[in-house]
Amino acid sequence: MSVERIEAAGSGELLEGPHWDPATESLYYVDIYSRNLFKYTPETNKCVSAHVDEGWPSVIIPVEGQSNRFLITVNNQLGVVDWDGSACKVSPQIIAEVEGNPAGHRINDAKCDPLGRLWFGSMGPEPQRLHIERNRGTLYNLMHDGSVKSHFDGISIPNGLAWNEDNTLFYYIDSYKYSIDQFEYDQETATISNRKPIFSLRENNIEGIPDGMTIDTDGNLWVAIFDGSCVIKIDPRQPETLLQKIQVPAKQVTSVAWGGPNLDELYVTSANIVIDGVINPGIHHGGLFRITELDARGYPATNAKV
């Protein structure tokens, strides 16, 4: 196993939302606080950014069948941007708003389900870095007709999302629950039910909070641990089963995504947030990392159908 920092990507304050695009063989991700979108291309080892002129983006996902068009979040709205991969500024065209989501709320993690519908969670106001008003967020998804469907509220920090191979289960993280939860999933109606926790960080003595998440073709979940300097691998079919813990040389690990030509490289984003005046020691915080030689691979990420 090898963990390397991708120096060409530089550093950011809150890198999030990694999404591998096989069409361009590139990794797309964001820096929420700097309002930047990124495209990293391993073949050229180049990373290019575009600045969002208004609002905080938390994800960037290619729109299916439309070259250089992307679905992004902008505070508590959804928008599309056209971006040719050059350094520039972009202005999102808003396509949906989260009704009843007050000013100060924003969307955090988001991912498309196997049918290309975006699932996303909102969170409450953040008057200071990571001082978030708890239990103010809601889980939503964007339907193909453009409507926004609400699922449940009371979320503090909405994070990792994943679906199992036959699309009957949905895995989800609310970070301040310190657990990974499972729902039954009805793909046809975009309905979730029967929530239950399947892995608790506290019961397994893991420091930090669970953040972004992905799934591999063996059905195991890979979870970024913020404030824990690691990525963990768990088996959701066997509750409280920790399979592997991989140390990452950044304290605030934020998300993970499979990439590379064979989808066997795990890309890892991180943050370098000064919380209550405490500066993270070391030089790797806020970097983009790649983990190889894992003997695992992922599924192709689903693009947005909007």
Residues 6+ apart with CB under 8 A from 220: 233, 234, 235, 236, 243, 296
Cα distance between residue 202 and residue 206, in whole Å: 6
* Identity of the amino acid at 198: I
DSSP bridge pairs for 192:
185
Of the residues 21, 113, 174, 211, only one is catalytic, namely: 211
Cα distance between residue 175 and residue 226, in whole Å: 9
* Identity of the amino acid at 53: D
Which residue, chain included where needed, has tokens 């768990």?
Answer: 234
Q: Verify whether residue 31 is a known catalytic residue.
A: no
Neighbours of 85 (CB within 10 A): 15
DSSP bridge pairs for 121:
139
Taking a C-beta distance cutoff of 8 angstroms, is the pair 68, 50 a contact?
A: no
Active-site residues, by number, are: 211
